[in-house]
Each structure stands twice: as C-alpha cells, then as structure tokens.
Amino acid sequence: MKEEGFVNDKFLQDALFRLETNYFEKRKRLETIFDYELYKNITQKIKQKNINDLKTNTQSLIENLKKKDIDVIFAENAYQAQDAVLKILQNHDAKCVVKSKSLTTEEIHLNEFLKQNGIDAYETDLGEWLVQIANQPSSHMTAPAIHMSKEKIRNLLNEKFSQNLSDDLDELVQFSKNKIREYFDYTHIGIFGSNVVSKDGVFFIVSNEGNVEKVLLNDVNICIVGIDKIVSDIQEALLIVDFLPKAATAQLSTSYVDCFEKPFGEFHVILLDNGRSKLSKNDEFSEILQCIRCGACQNACCVYTTVSGLAFRGDAYAGPIGVLLSYLTGYKGIGEFANFCLGCMACDSICSSKIPIQSLILKIKSQYPINSIIKDKILDSLSNYSILRFSIKILSRFFKKETKLGFKALDEYFGFDFRAFPKPNKKSFDLTKTQKSNIGLFAGCSVNIFYEDLGKDCLEVARKLNINLSVIKQPACCGAACYYNGKQFEAINSAKKVSSTIENYDEVIFLDPHCQHMIDRDYSELAGIDLEASLQDASSYFLKKINEVQIKPMNKKITYHHPCHLLRGLKTSLELETFLQTVESQFVALNESDKCCGFAGSYSIMHKGISKKLIERKAQNITNTQAEILITACPGCIMQIDGYLKNKGINVKVMHFVSYLNTILGG
C-alpha cells in the first residue's frame, strides 16, 4: 500500500492518535516524579561501557552459563540461530512451540523458518498473537498490534474463529486470552527473549501480561538474546529494568519482572551476534547498540505516528530505531526505509539511551541514496549559486504572484495542490549590498529565493538595534538540502565553499535554523571543518540586544510554532516562545507546538502524503487557537504553514519571529 493508503485509513489514524496522546499524557504525569534525563544518562553510560566490552562480556557470559551446565550457542548470524533452534526442536520431535517476549526472533525470521520446517510457532503475547493471526508484521516494539482498532480486531477474531463477538474490549481480550491458553496444551517447549542479561548469567524479562511465566514453565526452554543485551552486573541490569516501563509505556513499573538464572526445565541459550560485534567496532555507528528496545522513539516520530510501523518499516523493525536496526542486520531496502525520515529530531530528544538517531539516519541515507531526476536537478541548482541565481530570474518572470503551475500533474508532484507556492524574489536576496562588518547574515536559500521581505526585516531590526550587519553573499546552499537527501558528496562540496566565506566573520546570524544546525553540527563530522565564527539564530541573537523600553507589543491574539531544528537541534526556540508569552498579553499556546509541520524541503515533494497529513494536523491546531497571527522562526515552516493556510483560505497571518521583532521595535 502507498503511504496515502495509510494516511487515509481512519481506523489506523485513530489508533495512532490514541497511542501518541496516551503515551505522552502518561509520560508528562510521570515526569513530575521521575527524572527521565537522569536515567537516560545512566542508561547511555551503562550501554556505552558494555558495547566497548562486548567481546569480553560475551565470552564471560558463555563461560558462566557453561559452568551452570546450561547449553549455550553463539550464533554468528540469523541462519546459525535458526539452525540452532531447529536442531533443539527436532531433537524433541516438536511440532509446535509457544513464544513470548521474543523480538529478536523477528530479526531472524524464526516463525517463517520454523513453518517451512513443519513446526508451528504460536505467539502468546496478546499483540504479537493478533498480528500473527492477521498475517501482519508487528508494527511497534512494545505494542505490536497498535495499528489495529478494536473494530478490526473484532472482525479478525470473528472471521478467524467463526465467532460473533461484539467490539467490547474486555470481551475481545478475554476471548483472545482463552484462545492463547489453548496453545500451552499443545507443546512443552517455549521460546523467549530477554530484555537484559548480566554477564554472570542472570536473565531479566519485563512484561505486562503474565504469559511469560507460563512459557518459562515448559520442559524445554530456549532463550534467544542479542549480545548487545549483556551488561556487567545485576545492578546495571536492574537500572535498565527499572527504566524500561517508564520509557516504553510511561508506566511507573511493569506488572511482571522475571529474573532467573535457569528456568525449571532444560535450558538452551542462543546468543545472537548478527552484525553486533562488527558494529561495536564501528566508530560511526556503534551507538546503535545502545538501544534498550523501549519504542519511545516510535511514539515520538511524526512519520511513524502518521503512517504507522506498517509503512515506515524494514523487514523486521519499524520506525526510527527500525532504520538503525535494519542497518545492523543489513536489510536490503534500507535506503528507501531511511528516506521516510524527515529529520525532525524528535527521536533524538526522547531516546532513552541518547542515541543520535537522526544523524545516524542521515549517514545511512548518504550510504544508500535514493535518486530522482527532478529532485536531483533542484538539489544541484542549490549547490551552485550561479545556476540558482539564473533560475531565480526565470522563476520570477514565470510566477508573478503566489500561485500554482497550472498543470495538474506538476502541481500535484510539487505539492502545490495543497499549499500555495510563494512568489520568487526578483533577484537572490544575498546580492543585497550592505556595509562591511564582522557580523554576517547568512540568509539561506528560502530567503534568497522567496522571502526577501524577511531578509529586509532582519536588516531593519539590526539597524534599529545599531548592529552593523553585512549580508553574506552565498557561494552555495549550506548543504543541508543535499545531505538530508543522501547526497553527501555534494553536501561536502557546499560545506567547503560556505565555510570559507563564513570564516571572514566573527559572528554569523541565521534566519533559517536548518542552515545553522547543518553548519554547527554536521560540517565538522562531514568535512572536518571546525569554524571559529560564533553562529547564532537571528531571533535569539536580537532578543539578547533588546530592552523592554524599545518594544511596543502587537496586542493581538498570537500563537507560536516551534521549528524542529531550533527547538531540538539548536535548543533556542523555547526562549522565543517565553518572550511572546511575556510580552503579548493575548498569547495563546499552540497544541502540539513542537510537532513538525511536515515541510523538510524536498521531503514535502517526495513524501507528499505524509507532509500533507502533518500540515493538516498543524493547521487544525492553529485554527483551534483562534489566533490572528502565528509566529515561527524558520522560513521552511512559513512556506509550509502559510502556503497551506492560504490555499485553504484560512485567515491567519504567518510571521517569522524576526519580522515580528521588526514590527514591535520602535525606531
């Protein structure tokens, strides 16, 4: 199904909305008594240390298990793990097995493999069982059937088991649990995973349903666990066990924690490597192994919560962490999967072990670029400002006002069918003549091509504050447009050109946080460029220079949208919102003000369905405030939000924070 199919599935949308809102409401409440940041730091430290010790930890665990007479098998890859399980099952003449808490078995496609070998694997976790009987993949790390509405579950159960169940949730759960219970009568073999295991051989399983205990009571027990789950000792394991329910489901504690050295029956442990050892030595990507499989990044991801883990997925794993784990396992379709990411950084902010997910995804995109002729042509023109300047001249003749192209197919391709396209400038704004100064304005492509008024507002604010500001003549785009589209070579070229220009200034201010974030964070790693100039976003730079006497509030109903890169990347967006709250008596908070508007440059063309859905949700939230003015601090957000509101005829003025400052500043 194409992404539009997921976006237009009302049941799916309701289910995703419930997942997100329930999780964040609960998490907000828990934040009042639990220090998430502290536990994130602790988890990161524990995991980093154990990744460094992966080899010795694995060896210690193997030795310790052997000392306890436990059968332990080290599986280098998925095939070895599959074979090891099959051998054990064949030795017991097994025709079926029960399973619980075994996400790692999805990575090795165990159920399908066993089926091919005549063995049925029955899932006993409710969500896993539902997706299994629906013949679907699990779509969430901790809530595999979250994409299913109760109506869908009712239909599924009625059809599969010839029932006449209502959509009463208790009835559906009870029926399912009774069905699952039957499987325990068919077998005496259980397969399970482990959330964390200490290297002396103590296994921990965190769960909510109570079925794990039944699986563990079998005569034969097989535990399949990735070697990244090994920690030094029980104290470390307990810290992760304590954090997991708070991170995964925003519960203070989980209903069950099973902790054991050896279940009652025969015990086989399969330690799965499948790329983990190699990854642990990879400086760029080893952080992937820090993951504790909490699924919080999935709940926070605007793409995941728009199309679900059925669309934003690889072969085994879904969502932000899914991209990283698919890189680990060498999933062939990783390029396309990674390109679903629009770079909002919500995953980075929430990650329970502080994995820089977004920047790792960018690196993956660079290794597996997806080419498209139109997109590549646009990006090429951004990398070369001589071509860009020529294009602006042509475009400005073509578009006399905010308009569409007038060709249905092209308008649909570029997304002009749901948002108005801004009128291009007559010439690139960065050609504006200004006096020489050691403070430079890096206007960015959006301002250079479309928003010269914003550039002029910025110069005007500087004049009013007696700041001598010089417009930087850009040799190229900052490179973000290319880098976010997997064109690393072109991004590095742009970085080299832009950095040599920026080096001429002591301070550089930015109207587009995306440019600043790219130069600030990515130049060093991408091209080894460490700039000496101080980089600041124009809005907060000016705020520091303003005193209250100089301002005259607009006294209008105003609301504020956080640009992703300013909020989560540069971390200066909150101060802009606080300023508005203080100065504007009619300020009204925007619901989901931190949620991406869905622009992300060419993403809004390549993944139009997702982009459109995100801006629809943003516009609904804006309309609900009844504000006259929406302020934000990113030209990209303005293009998306203003374009959509105009297209819909919604009368809300959209302003950059710098333009707002120009309005309220006297002089």
Q: Which residues bind ligand SF4 (CB under 6 A)?
A: 141, 291-297, 300-303, 320-321, 341-347, 350-353, 355, 357-358, 361
CB of 434 to ligand SF4, least distance (A): 35
Give 99 or 595: the residue with its C-beta nearer to ligand SF4.
595
Give 370 or 394: the residue with its C-beta nearer to ligand SF4.
370
| Amino acid present at 131 | V
CB of 660 to ligand SF4, least distance (A): 27
Please report where in the chains the tokens 């509030």 appear, as a residue. Answer: 553
Rounded Cα distance between 229 and 236, Å, is: 11
Give 506 or 525: the residue with its C-beta nearer to ligand SF4.
525
For residue 170, the tally of other CB atoms under 10 A from its CB is: 8
Rounded Cα distance between 634 and 81, Å, is: 49
The beta strands (E) that lie in 181-244 are given as: 189-192, 196-198, 203-207, 220-226, 230-231
Give 240 or 439: the residue with its C-beta nearer to ligand SF4.
240
CB of 226 to ligand SF4, least distance (A): 12
Any idea what the Cα angle at residue 431 is, between residues 427 and 433, rounded to 5°?
125
CB of 293 to ligand SF4, least distance (A): 5
CB of 295 to ligand SF4, least distance (A): 5
Give 451 or 484: the residue with its C-beta nearer to ligand SF4.
484
CB of 344 to ligand SF4, least distance (A): 3
CB of 563 to ligand SF4, least distance (A): 13
Contact 205, 258 (CB under 8 A): yes
CB of 346 to ligand SF4, least distance (A): 4
Contact 663, 551 (CB under 8 A): no
SS3 119: coil
Distances in Å between the alpha carbon of 290 and those of 175, 230, 231, 294, 583? 38, 11, 11, 11, 43
Environment class of 666 (CB within 10 Å of its CB; exposed 0-12, middle 13-18, buried 19+): exposed
Task: Identify the H or E element spanning 94.
Answer: none
For residue 571, the tally of other CB atoms under 10 A from its CB is: 12
CB of 352 to ligand SF4, least distance (A): 4
Give 148 or 347: the residue with its C-beta nearer to ligand SF4.
347
CB of 191 to ligand SF4, least distance (A): 22
DSSP 506: S
Give 50 or 662: the residue with its C-beta nearer to ligand SF4.
50
Partners of 225 in beta bridges: 271
Give 358 or 391: the residue with its C-beta nearer to ligand SF4.
358
- The pair phi, psi for residue 363, each rounded to 5°, is -65, -35
Give 351 or 580: the residue with its C-beta nearer to ligand SF4.
351
Rounded Cα distance between 242 and 238, Å, is: 6
Give 199 or 246: the residue with its C-beta nearer to ligand SF4.
246
Contact 63, 269 (CB under 8 A): no
Give 108 or 347: the residue with its C-beta nearer to ligand SF4.
347
Task: Tell which residue, 299, 258, 276, 297, has the closest CA to residue 108.
Answer: 276
Partners of 99 in beta bridges: 123, 191
Any idea what the Cα angle at residue 355 is, between residues 349 and 360, rounded to 5°?
105
Helices (H), 272-384: 276-280, 296-300, 304-311, 319-329, 334-338, 346-350, 357-367, 373-383
CB of 292 to ligand SF4, least distance (A): 5
Give 320 or 422: the residue with its C-beta nearer to ligand SF4.
320
- The pair phi, psi for residue 535, each rounded to 5°, is -105, 130
Give 361 or 472: the residue with its C-beta nearer to ligand SF4.
361
Environment class of 295 (CB within 10 Å of its CB; exposed 0-12, middle 13-18, buried 19+): buried
CB of 235 to ligand SF4, least distance (A): 19
Give 131 or 301: the residue with its C-beta nearer to ligand SF4.
301
Give 350 or 535: the residue with its C-beta nearer to ligand SF4.
350
CB of 296 to ligand SF4, least distance (A): 4
CB of 39 to ligand SF4, least distance (A): 11
Sheet order of strands, 653-656 included: 558-560, 629-632, 653-656
Task: Identify the H or E element spanning 626.
Answer: none
CB of 141 to ligand SF4, least distance (A): 6
Task: Identify the H or E element spanning 558.
Answer: strand 558-560
Distances in Å between the alpha carbon of 634 and those of 443, 541, 573? 11, 14, 10
Rounded Cα distance between 531 and 629, Å, is: 37
Give 189 or 637: the residue with its C-beta nearer to ligand SF4.
637
Rounded Cα distance between 434 and 525, Å, is: 33
CB of 250 to ligand SF4, least distance (A): 13
Rounded Cα distance between 147 and 152, Å, is: 9
